Structure 1
Amino acid sequence: MKPIINSTAEFLAVAQKHGLRLNAENVELNASGVDFLVAFATDEDGIPWVLRAPRRSDVIERAANENRVLNLLRKHLPVAVPEWRVNTEDLIAYPRLAGTPAATVNPVAKNYDWYIDQQSPSVTFVDSLAGAIAGLHTIDHDAACEAGVRVLQPVEVRQSLAKKMDQAKPLLRVSDLVWQRWQNWLADDTYWPKHSALIHGDLHPGHMLVDQDHRVTGLIDWTEAEVADPATDFAAYYAIFGESALADLLQRYQDAGGRVWPRMQDHIVELYCACPVAIAMFVLLTGDDTYLEPAQMMLSAHEQQMAGLG
C-alpha cells in the first residue's frame, strides 16, 4: 500500500494528482474514524468535497465492497448516498452531500456533539430514519448479490457470530455470566430473524445526515454494508436513545414496510450486549489494542446490570 496520508498538505497533494484543485485555506481534518482519515474541503468552483484516506491496507478491500454497495443503493434508496468521483488505494473523494450529521464524534470527550435533540428526537427525525432503514432493508437480495455485495443467510449470520465470540473470548476476558448470556441467545431460535436484509452495518448518528428540520436526507460511510441481520442497524439507536425510543422506531419502521418479528426488540438488546465482539475482531485485525479497554468496560457494565437484575 502507498504511504498513508497524515496531513492537510498530503491530502492536497494527492487530490491534485487526481485532478481535484482544492482551496488550501479551507481544509478541515476529521480524525474520529477508525478506518479513514477524513478531510472536508472546497474546490476552486466552490463545490464542497469529502476526502477519505485509508488508515490501513485492509481497508482497501472493504472500500471496494463499499463502492459496489453505493452503486446499488443509488438506484433504490429513498435518501442520498455518496457518489465517489475518485476511488484509488490512496484516496476516495466525492462531492459532499447536503445535510448535517445528526451528531459528530468528539474524539477528545469520547462522546457525541449533537445537532438533533438527543433527549427527545423529533417525530420528523424518527419517521424519516425509519423510512430510510425500511427502504434499505427491502432492497432485493438478488440485486445485491448481482452487484457483488456479500450475502449471509440467517444461519450463516449466527455461525459467523459464534466463531467470532470464540475468538474474542480470551482477548476480552469474558466472564462466565456474560458468556452464558451470549450462548443462550445464540441457541434460542425465538430471538433470531428468519430473514436477512441489506444493512448499513454501522448506523450511528454520525452517519445520518439531516436537513434543518431534522429529516434524514442521506446516509454515509457504508464500509460495513452487507446482507445480514437486519437488527444490526438498530443496535446503536437502542444504546443511545433507550428501549422506549427503540420501540417507537420499530413501530414506524414496520409502518414504512420494514419486516419485524415477535422478539426483534429483545434480539436488538442482546445484539448490543455482544457489541464488544466486533471491537475485539477489529483489534485482532489491526493489532491496535487501544480499543480493548472500552470494550471490557462495556462488558463489565453488562455484567453489573445482569447481577443487579438477578
Structure 2
Amino acid sequence: MQRSHLALAALATVVVPRIDIYQARPAPAAEGFEAAYVLDSQSRTWIVRAPLNPTAGASLEAEAAFLRSIERHVDSGALPFVTPRPAGFAPLIEGGRAMVYPHLPGNQLRLERLRPGPGAAASLGRALGALHSLPTSILEDSAFPTYTAEQYRERKLAELDEGAASGLVPVTLLRRWEKALENVVLWKFMPVVTHTNLSEDCVIMAHGQVSAIADWSSVQVGDPAEDLAWLVAAAPMDSVDSIFEAYQMRRAEALDKHLIDRALLGSELAVLKWLLHGVHDNNAEIIDDATAMLNDLVEATTQDTSTGSFTVTTMPAPVDRAPSERIIGDTGALEKPTSTSGGSPASAGITTADESAASPSTARSGSVPMTPDGPMSNEEVWTAAQPVVSTDDSEELRLALESGEFALPDYERATPPMPYADAQTEVLSALPDPETDPDESQRSDSDGEG
C-alpha cells in the first residue's frame, strides 16, 4: 500500500505534539520504503519514513533499535557526527509502524569536491574511523548480521559462485576475484561495526565537515573495507591519501596493511552484487547495465589474471606520485567507467584520478594560509573557502529568504569551516520531488560553482 506524501505527513501529527504542518514534499527512499519531507510552522523539517512490506518493517524496527543504542556515543562525542534520532512512531493500518525523525541539516557529500588535506577528506576519514571504533557488542543482540573475518570471506565466495552460475560474468574477472578471495593473507582483519551502504546520498556535510550520516538499515559487523570501497573507486585519487591517513589515525587498532586491497576488490565486487540484484529481480535493465560495467572492468583490468593479485605496494609520498597512478600494486591500469543508468551504485566500477582536483592553499596539511600582511585570520580563511555564487542564484536566494518561504538551518555550532565538499544549503522548496522530477538527483553540480 503506497501513500501520498500528504498521507505520510498526516502521520507526523500522531508523533509530534501540536505540530502545525506548513508544507510536505515526497522524499527519496530506499527500496521497500516510502518517505516524505514535512515542514512545520516553526521552520522545523521532519522526515516520515514508512515500510511498504513486512521485511522492510522489520528492517526499520532494527534500525531504530540500533540508532537508540548509539545515541550515547553521539552525545559523548565518540562519534563526530549525528545520526537520525527518532521522535516517535505512528502505527500503520496494514501493520507495522512509520518512523518520524528530524531532518538532518546540511548537504549531501559531493565526492568530486573533495580536496586533499585537513578539510572534508580528513573529516570523512575521521568519521569512518570513529564508526569502526564502536564496540561490536552493540549489535550482539540485534537483528543485524555479525560476521567473523572467515565468515565474511566465505560469504563473498558464495556470491562469486552465484555470479559464475549466472554465466554473465567474464571468466577473466572470475579468476581474478577467486584468486583474491582464496588468498587468506588478505582476509586477516578485525571485524568492526560497518554502515555497509555508504554513498554520497547518506553522508551529510556542513561547512566542509561530516555533520551527519543517515540510512542505517544495512548495518552489520564485518569488514571495514566495505565502507571504504566506494571511496577507493570514486573519490578523487589525491584525496584518498588524506581519507586513509585520517582514518588510520582515528582507529585505535594496529594498521590493517591489506585494508586498501580489500577496498579495491570490494569496489569491483559491487558490480557483481549489482548484477545479482538484477538476476534476483529478473530485471533486464539492471542486468544489461551490470553486464556493460563488467565489460568495462575487463578492459580496465589489463593485468595477467592468472598470476595477478591484490597486493599493496610501498606507498610513495603524494607529491611524488603521478596523477594517473593508484596506490594499489599490480591491479592494472584503472579507467573511469562510462556513466550508467538504472540507479546502479555510484561506488561500483573503477575510476582514475580527478586530474582537475588541485589542493587549495588553505587545505595544505600543516600550513597556515598567508597574505602579504601575515597569516590569514579565521574570517579570511572562511571567506576564501566559500563557493562562488552566481548573481542570479544569489538574488533568487535573497528573495526567497525575504518572502519567508523557508528558513535556513542554523549552523552556529558547526565546526570552523574548511574547504567545501558540499553544495549550498538546500531547503525544502528546493528538494527534489521523486514523483514529478525523477532525474533531479542527477542534475548538474553547477549551482554554487564559479
Q: TM-score, normalised by structure 1?
A: 0.83
Contact 2:129 2:247 in 1 (8 A): yes
For residues 208 and 258 of structure 1, the distance between their equivalents in structure 2, rounded to whole angstroms, comes to 23
**Looking at CA atoms only, which structure, 1 or 2, has the larger radius of gyration?**
2
C-alpha deviations, 1:233-288, integer Å up to 9, x for none? 11111222144432331111111226431222122111111002332454466555
What SS is found at the alignment partner of 1:52?
A: strand
What SS is found at the alignment partner of 1:38?
A: strand
- Selected match of 1:96 from 87, 96, 103: 103
Residue of structure 1 equivalent to 2:83: 81
C-alpha deviations, 1:166-219, integer Å up to 9, x for none? 2233447111111111111110123224211100111112111111x2111110
Residue of structure 2 equivalent to 1:239: 233
**AA paired with 1:47?**
R
1:282-301 equivalences under 5 Å are: 282-283=277-278, 286=281, 288-301=283-296
- Which stretch of structure 1 is more off in the superposition, 228-237 or 275-284? 275-284
1:134-173 equivalences under 5 Å are: 134-147=129-142, 149-171=144-166, 173=168
**AA paired with 2:295?**
S
Q: CA deviation at 1:100?
A: 1.8
- Selected match of 1:255 from 237, 246, 249: 249
Q: Give the share of equivalent positions with the same residue, in percent.
A: 18
Q: CA deviation at 1:55?
A: 4.4
1:1-310 equivalences under 5 Å are: 3-5=1-3, 7-16=4-13, 18=15, 26-31=23-28, 33-76=30-73, 77-87=79-89, 89=96, 91-102=98-109, 114=110, 118=113, 120=115, 123-147=118-142, 149-171=144-166, 173-211=168-206, 213-257=207-251, 259=253, 260-283=255-278, 286=281, 288-307=283-302, 309=332
For residues 169 and 199 of structure 2, the distance between their equivalents in structure 1, rounded to whole angstroms, comes to 25
**AA paired with 2:2?**
I
**AA paired with 2:227?**
D
What SS is found at the alignment partner of 1:41?
A: strand
**AA paired with 2:161?**
D
For residues 68 and 55 of structure 1, the distance between their equivalents in structure 2, rounded to whole angstroms, comes to 19
Q: CA deviation at 1:12?
A: 2.7
| Structure 2 portions without partners, runs of 5+ | 74-78, 304-331, 334-450
After superposition, the Cα gap between the structure-2 partners of 1:292 and 1:59, relative to the gap in structure 1 and judged at 3 Å, is farther
For residues 195 and 284 of structure 1, the distance between their equivalents in structure 2, rounded to whole angstroms, comes to 32
For residues 267 and 115 of structure 2, the distance between their equivalents in structure 1, rounded to whole angstroms, comes to 21
Contact 2:191 2:223 in 1 (8 A): yes
What SS is found at the alignment partner of 1:227?
A: strand
**AA paired with 1:85?**
A
Give the paired residue count.
294
For residues 28 and 171 of structure 1, the distance between their equivalents in structure 2, rounded to whole angstroms, comes to 41
**AA paired with 1:51?**
V
For residues 224 and 121 of structure 1, the distance between their equivalents in structure 2, rounded to whole angstroms, comes to 29
The structure where helix makes up a greater share of residues is: 1
For residues 28 and 277 of structure 1, the distance between their equivalents in structure 2, rounded to whole angstroms, comes to 35
What SS is found at the alignment partner of 1:27?
A: strand
For residues 23 and 296 of structure 1, the distance between their equivalents in structure 2, rounded to whole angstroms, comes to 49
Contact 1:246 1:265 in 2 (8 A): no
Contact 2:114 2:121 in 1 (8 A): no
What SS is found at the alignment partner of 1:139?
A: coil
C-alpha deviations, 1:59-81, integer Å up to 9, x for none? 22222221222122222223100
C-alpha deviations, 1:122-171, integer Å up to 9, x for none? 63212221111111111112233145543111111111121122223344
What SS is found at the alignment partner of 1:217?
A: strand
After superposition, the Cα gap between the structure-2 partners of 1:93 and 1:32, relative to the gap in structure 1 and judged at 3 Å, is closer
After superposition, the Cα gap between the structure-2 partners of 1:72 and 1:149, relative to the gap in structure 1 and judged at 3 Å, is farther
For residues 8 and 157 of structure 1, the distance between their equivalents in structure 2, rounded to whole angstroms, comes to 39
C-alpha deviations, 1:2-42, integer Å up to 9, x for none? x133x223323444455677666522223363343332111
After superposition, the Cα gap between the structure-2 partners of 1:133 and 1:8, relative to the gap in structure 1 and judged at 3 Å, is same
Q: TM-score, normalised by structure 2?
A: 0.59
- Which stretch of structure 1 is more off in the superposition, 183-192 or 50-59? 50-59
After superposition, the Cα gap between the structure-2 partners of 1:58 and 1:292, relative to the gap in structure 1 and judged at 3 Å, is farther
